[in-house]
Amino acid sequence: MNAAWSSFDRARPRESVLDEDLLGRLAGALPEDGGDPADAIEDAARVLDASISPARPLNLAYVGSTGLATATVGDALAATYDVNLAAHSAAAAILEAQTSRWTAEFIGHPRACGGFTSGGQISNLSAILAARERAMPGSRVSGVSAQAGALYCSGEAHQSIIRAAEVAGLGSESVRRLPIDSERRLVPEALERALEQDLAAGVNPVAVIATAGTTLTGAVDPIADLVAICERRSVWLHVDGAYGLPAAATPSAAPLFAGIDRVDSATLDAHKWLGVPKSCSVLLVQDEEVLQAAFGHREKYLLHREDAPNPVDHTLEYSRPMRSLKLWLVFRVHGAAALRVWIQRGIDNARLFTSLIDADPAFQMLHRPMLSTVCFRHTPPGVADLDAHNLRLARAIQADGRVYLAPATIDDRACLRGCFVNFRTTPEDVRLAVAVARELGELLA
């Protein structure tokens, strides 16, 4: 593990691949008898070394976490005791509540209650289920009626919102994917019109989902404007800040998140920009009673104790690991100030990246980064099909292995996309990423 930690401190010349022996063992049948623990752990470490790890400073393709040793100690401690956070857990519940309060305090949310979930999908789904029960009281018992409820978000919202609509029985057709402005933020007037239209047609608005840090470009929807619209009509406003919400803690980005103190619920994945490994998603909800209405057990149930509330009464999952411990340790060991510096570093890296791309006529930024995500493409003279060229370039970069970047599509144009959330990424790494893209792009042009 120590070797792994030190290897994360710098980019690697190549991605590792598995040898035939190990591949053969990974195709084998269930071992009847046990084997040498050292051999098994060595195989596991080699498999991990040949996997796509976001902990490496130049893995920019996915919004992954940083790989903080403190957090891994937290995961190992949590695994050792294996406390169940769904039921009465004594001291563990106190620590989990403090971590939830700290997270809310960090981003400026006056949290009433919340919980830790396995990821943005489950956090977003939980918020939408709470909103569904508030908009359609009793639907938990009697079911939903197709097309009777609608969700509202920009066309740039994460797929997990569509999936949540599918899962909740509302159907993907119930999601109104609204227009975006030139900065790729949801247009408040479009939301007003959609709400009016649906209300006139007898459709029940279940929730508006604002994205605070879209997956594609990191755009932050205008939360304060959406709060005003939603408060006027008593429509639930959920902020999907899985990736971007931690940036609300930095003075430079805080203004983008104005209004976050008045939303009904918000999602934040600590396993993205707060440096802890998956999974550690935080759901913050203002009104505990709505969560209770959506998830509470009205009948007496095995797990209940008369004298203590049960987390399973306001969370979707039953048995739950102690996901909060690693985030608690990070707050205790590193402090809020260090986290702010690390988040600012990501924003600064994106700005540096942008200035390097702007300075090179063979490249083009497709979007000015609002947070720490960059979308750019290689536009060398003489290349007719820039989409095909940039897809080839993305594959060449992944095969090269020094930098890990993914292809994406922005307004039907193929591009390269990178996201800076790893505090290990240095300005030199940023320069290397641009240099690798330039070098391989020229070879392919």
88-107: contacts with a copy of itself (CB under 8 A): 88-92, 94-95, 98, 101-102, 105-106
User: Which residue, 83 or 178, has its beta carbon nearer to a copy of itself?
Assistant: 83
The two structure tokens encoding residue 22: 């190990």
User: Which residue, 91 or 359, has its beta carbon nearer to a copy of itself?
Assistant: 91
Whether residue 252 contacts residue 347, with contact meaning beta carbons closer than 8 Å, is answered with: yes
Check binding of 215 to a copy of itself (CB under 8 A): yes
Helix (H, G, I), strand (E, B) or coil at 377: strand
Contact with a copy of itself (CB under 8 A): which of 10, 12, 62, 254?
62
State in angstroms the smallest separation of the CB of 405 from a copy of itself. Answer: 12
Contact with a copy of itself (CB under 8 A): which of 55, 113, 282, 397?
55
How far apart, in Å, do the first and last CA atoms of the chain sit? Answer: 41
State in angstroms the smallest separation of the CB of 437 from a copy of itself. Answer: 18
State in angstroms the smallest separation of the CB of 355 from a copy of itself. Answer: 25
Q: How far apart are CA 189 and CA 154, in angstroms?
A: 12
Q: Outline where 201-300 has alpha helix (H).
A: 223-233, 270-273, 288-295
Q: How far apart are CA 367 and CA 342, in angstroms?
A: 23
Check binding of 155 to a copy of itself (CB under 8 A): no
Q: How far apart are CA 322 and CA 92, in angstroms?
A: 8
Check binding of 385 to a copy of itself (CB under 8 A): no
Check binding of 387 to a copy of itself (CB under 8 A): no
Check binding of 74 to a copy of itself (CB under 8 A): yes
State in angstroms the smallest separation of the CB of 387 from a copy of itself. Answer: 13
Helix (H, G, I), strand (E, B) or coil at 177: strand
User: Which residue, 31 or 361, has its beta carbon nearer to a copy of itself?
Assistant: 31
Q: How far apart are CA 388 and CA 409, in angstroms?
A: 12
Contact with a copy of itself (CB under 8 A): which of 11, 58, 60, 71?
71
Check binding of 131 to a copy of itself (CB under 8 A): no
State in angstroms the smallest separation of the CB of 108 from a copy of itself. Answer: 11
User: CB count, 10 Å around CB of 436?
Assistant: 19
Q: Which residues pair with 376 in a beta bridge?
A: 365, 416
Stretch that binds a copy of itself, among 270-278, 283-291, 381-389, 433-441 (CB under 8 A): 270-278
* Count of residues interacting with a copy of itself (CB under 8 A): 132
Nearest to 242 by CA among 136, 356, 161, 311: 161
Within 336-355, the residues that bind a copy of itself by CB under 8 A are: 336-338
Residue with tokens 């609204």: 178
Q: How far apart are CA 211 and CA 238, in angstroms?
A: 9
How far from 149 is each of 90, 175, 207, 241, 413, CA to CA, in Å? Answer: 40, 9, 9, 23, 34
Within 358-377, the residues that bind a copy of itself by CB under 8 A are: none
Check binding of 397 to a copy of itself (CB under 8 A): no
The two structure tokens encoding residue 76: 């190992």
Strands 373-378, 406-410: pairing is: unpaired
Q: How far apart are CA 279 and CA 269, in angstroms?
A: 8
State in angstroms the smallest separation of the CB of 50 from a copy of itself. Answer: 4
Check binding of 176 to a copy of itself (CB under 8 A): no
- Residue window 271-310: x/- pattern of binding to a copy of itself, with contact defined by CB under 8 A: x-----xxx---------------x-x--xxxx-------
Check binding of 29 to a copy of itself (CB under 8 A): yes
Check binding of 4 to a copy of itself (CB under 8 A): yes
How far from 216 is each of 91, 240, 386, 411, CA to CA, in Å? Answer: 40, 14, 19, 11
